[in-house]
Structure 1
C-alpha cells in the first residue's frame, strides 16, 4: 500500500499467530488485524498478513510494514562510456517520451598487413560493410516500416584516443570530422528499411575516395598502421539530415565489418583482387547519442549531470535509459522510523515491486532492459558500502518480467528485488540512508524503462517484514 510524505511513520500489522489456540483466541487476533488495517487505510487483505514470517513466539513480535514512504526521481549521469562496447549505433527516431533521438558513430580502420598494391593494378570500387546485430529487438529502436537514409559516411579528422575513454555525450567527447562531404557514392546515403531480416549493410562509396586510397598504397605511403592513421584517422557514420525512422545497431567486433577496396591486374582482368581495412582490427570505436525534447517528449527531465528531478515533475514516473544516461533514484526517507519497533528489530524480508508503466511499452521500442541496482551517495553517484562491495553494486541484474496484475487482471511488466540487507544496514547505522540508484545493466544500449511511483496508477510497492526480539 502507499503512503504520502505526510505519514512518515510505519504502520505495524500484527500477523495471525500460528500458536494461537481455540476459536476465541483466533477471532481476537483477526479482529485486531482488521482494526489495524482500517485505522491506517491499508488495502492489504488479512490473508496476506504474516505470509512468509516465522512462527510468532512469546518473545517475538512479527510485523508487516507497507506504509513507508518511497521517493523516486530521475537522475542524469551523462558519463556513459561507449568506446569498447563493440557497437556502432546510427539513425534518428522520435520517442514520444524522450524526444527526437539521434545517434552517430566513429570508427578507426585497421590494417592486417602493409597496403602496397602494384603500381599497375587498376581500381574497380570501394565499399563499407556493416554487419547488424541480429536480434531484432536488440538493434532496432523506432519504426522499421519506414524507409530511411542509412548511412552517411564521412571522413574523420581528429584521431580516436587510444588511452582515454570516449563517451556517448557530445559534450564530453568532441572530435572533428568533415560533415559537409558525404563519401557515399553519388554523395547520398541509400534509402531503405531496417527490416528484421537485414543482416548487413553494404555501402558503395565514392570512386574518387577509392582511387585516392589505392594510389596512396601504390605510392608506398600506407606501409604501417601509423601511416594509415595519418592518411585516414577513421570514418564517421551519421543519419541523413531528414532521416527520422529508427536507430540501427551494427557490430564492430566481427571481421566482416570493414572497408573493402577492389582492383584488378590488367593482365588478368577476370580475377578480382581486394584489400580489407577492418573496423575490428582498428579496435577503436564508439557512438554518441543526443535527445532533442524541444518538439516533444516529457518536459522537466534532468539536463545537467547528477541533477535529480522528482517523479512529481514527470507525471509520477521515472526513467532508466542506457545511452542517454538516465537513471532512477529510489529513497526510503523515513526508514529509521522502524526503530520505533525497538532497537532489536530484525528485517526478515523487504522487496521492491516496481512496475513499468504499461502505456510506455511499444512495438517500436526495445524490451525494457535488465536493471543494475547500486548504493548511492548524497550526490547521486554509485558508492561502495558494506552491502555493495567495492564497485557499489547492490544487485548485479534484475530481469524485466511480465505477470498478471492483481488489480486489473491485465498483463503487467516490471521488476522485483530485495532491499532487506540495505534496510537492515541502515537501521544498524552501518551505512547512510542515501538510497539506491537504478540503471541499465547494459548502459551502452539505447533501451529504456519507464517506472511507476508510489502515487502513479502503476504503483511502486515496498513490502517489509520484520521481527522484534524482546
Structure 2
C-alpha cells in the first residue's frame, strides 16, 4: 500500500462515522445570551466550488486475492481499462503412474467474485497466452504489464444476467490442445512449475467489450474455482457395473498474478489534468466532479467566501453545520454502488493532504460520512452528510486557515484499499446542478 493511503488511513483510525444533526445543540451561546432569547437561524446559501483533481498513484495488485477485467468509458472522465495476468501453479499428481484412464476435458474455470457496472448487456472475455511466465519474486502494480500473444486462444461471451452467489465462468480447451496438455501430464513431461510454464506460461484476461462493466475473478489461496481443471475417468469397470466417476485435478492461478489499470483522458475536459496542482472546475464537466482511485481522480472543494458573509446581530456561534454531497445516480439497480464512506481532508495548493478535517461539534473525530439512500419515493434520494460543526465554527471565527478540501474515499483502516475499491467510482453533483446538489447548511445561534 502506498504512503498516501497509509497516511490517510492512520488519520481515520481514531475517528468514527458521524450522523449530521440539523437541530444541533441549543446550549451554544448560553454563556453569552440568555437561553430564552436564543434563535436558531438556517443558512444554505454558502458558495461551494467543486473541481476534479488528479492524484495518480500505483498500487500493488500481486497480492490482492483477485483479478479484474473490464472497461469504463465516460465522456467526462475518459476510459479506464482493466486487464489481468496470471501464471499457473503445478500441482503434484499421480496421473503418470495410473493406467487405464481416459481424458474427459480440460476447462479453464474462473470464479466471479463481483460484477461492477452494466450487467444488462453481454460481456466478452478473451484469454491470451503469455509469451513468458511472470516472475514470482517480483511485486506487480497497477502500472505493470506483461506480454501476451495477439490472438486469443480461448473466448467466451457472458450473457445479460443478475449476478448472485459465486458464479463460475468455464472456457473449454479445444480438443487438440486438451489432449496435448493431458498427454504431457501423463507422460511426465510436465512435472513441475518450470515444465508447466514452458508449455503454458500463463494467461492474460482481456475484454473487447465496450460495455461499462468490470468482472472480478476470485484468485485467493482458499479459492478452488480459478485455474485449469483437468477432468478424467478410469476405464476399469466398477464392481457394481456403473460408469466410473469422473475425477479432476486443478492447476490454480493464485501464486503469481496482478491487475493492470490504464487510463486515457484524451479528448475529455479532464485531459487538462497533467499534474497534481491542476484542477478542472465542475462547471466544465456537466456540473459534476468525480472520485475514482483507479483513474486517479478525486474531488476538491473550496469555500471562497466563508469569511465574508454577514453574521446576524448578537451572533453566538454555529448550532450545527453540515456538508451535503449527492451522488448522480438514478436507481439502486444500476449495480454501480458508490463508495460506502467518504472523508474530508485539508489540502495545499498541490492538492496534497495536510490533515483530516475535524468532524462533529467537538472536533475530536475525523469528518467522514456514510452513503445513505432512500428510495421509498419515485426518485432516489441519496447523500453523504458530513457533520462539520466544529470546523465551520473555527473557520468563521478565523481560527483556522481557509484551505481547499479534498473529498475522497475513506478506506478501511484495518483492511486498506481493495481491488474493487480501485475500479469503483462516484459522480457528484455541484452546487449549480438542478438535482443532486452539493451544499453547506449552517444553523446559526444568535440573540433575538
Deviation at 1:387, TM superposition (A): 4.3
Q: For residues 432 and 223 of structure 1, what CA distance do their matches in structure 2 show?
A: 66
Residue 401 (structure 1) aligns with:
373
Following superposition of structure 1 onto structure 2, how do residues 12-411 of structure 1 map, counting pairs within 5 Å? 52-54=25-27, 57=30, 59-60=32-33, 64-79=42-57, 81=59, 83=61, 84-92=63-71, 94-95=73-74, 98=77, 102-111=81-90, 113-115=91-93, 117-118=95-96, 123-133=103-113, 139-142=115-118, 144-155=119-130, 157-159=132-134, 164-167=139-142, 172-178=143-149, 180-184=150-154, 189-196=155-162, 199-218=167-186, 220=188, 223-225=191-193, 228=196, 232-239=200-207, 241=208, 244=211, 246-253=213-220, 254-264=223-233, 270=244, 272-280=246-254, 282=255, 284-290=256-262, 299-300=269-270, 303-304=273-274, 306=276, 307-335=278-306, 347-357=318-328, 363-378=333-348, 379-385=350-356, 387=358, 394-395=366-367, 398-402=370-374, 410-411=379-380
Label 1:443 to 1:456 Cα distance change in 2 as closer, same or farther (>3 A): farther
Residue 386 (structure 2) aligns with:
417
Which secondary structure state, in structure 2, belongs to the residue aligned with residue 132 of structure 1?
Answer: strand
Label 1:73 to 1:428 Cα distance change in 2 as closer, same or farther (>3 A): same
What per-residue deviation string (whole Å, max 9, x for no partner) do you get for residues 55-86 of structure 1? 75471487655443322111233325362443
Q: Say whether 1:448 aligns with 2:416.
A: no
Label 1:74 to 1:158 Cα distance change in 2 as closer, same or farther (>3 A): farther
Q: For residues 165 and 341 of structure 1, what CA distance do their matches in structure 2 show?
A: 58
Q: For residues 346 and 175 of structure 1, what CA distance do their matches in structure 2 show?
A: 59
What per-residue deviation string (whole Å, max 9, x for no partner) do you get for residues 220-255 of structure 1? 56555566556645321111x466474333322322
What per-residue deviation string (whole Å, max 9, x for no partner) do you get for residues 17-52 of structure 1? xxxxxxxxxxxxxxxxxxxxxxxxxxxxxxx99865
Which secondary structure state, in structure 1, belongs to the residue aligned with residue 161 of structure 2?
Answer: coil
Label 1:200 to 1:356 Cα distance change in 2 as closer, same or farther (>3 A): same
Deviation at 1:118, TM superposition (A): 0.5
Q: For residues 156 and 420 of structure 1, what CA distance do their matches in structure 2 show?
A: 58
Which secondary structure state, in structure 2, belongs to the residue aligned with residue 139 of structure 1?
Answer: strand
Indicate if the aligned counterparts of 2:85 and 2:202 stay in contact, CA closer than 8 A.
Answer: yes
Indicate if the aligned counterparts of 2:110 and 2:168 stay in contact, CA closer than 8 A.
Answer: yes
Aligned length: 393
Indicate if the aligned counterparts of 1:318 and 1:451 stay in contact, CA closer than 8 A.
Answer: yes
Q: TM-score, normalised by structure 2?
A: 0.70
**Structure 2: runs of 5+ lacking an equivalent:** 1-20, 238-242, 360-364, 412-416
Q: For residues 401 and 434 of structure 1, what CA distance do their matches in structure 2 show?
A: 27
**Structure 1: runs of 5+ lacking an equivalent:** 1-47
Which secondary structure state, in structure 2, belongs to the residue aligned with residue 352 of structure 1?
Answer: strand
Q: TM-score, normalised by structure 1?
A: 0.67
Relative contact order (alpha carbons < 8 A, sep ≥ 6): 1 or 2 greater? 2
Indicate if the aligned counterparts of 2:345 and 2:406 stay in contact, CA closer than 8 A.
Answer: yes
What per-residue deviation string (whole Å, max 9, x for no partner) do you get for residues 261-291 of structure 1? 23455667945342212234x2x44333445
Label 1:237 to 1:396 Cα distance change in 2 as closer, same or farther (>3 A): farther
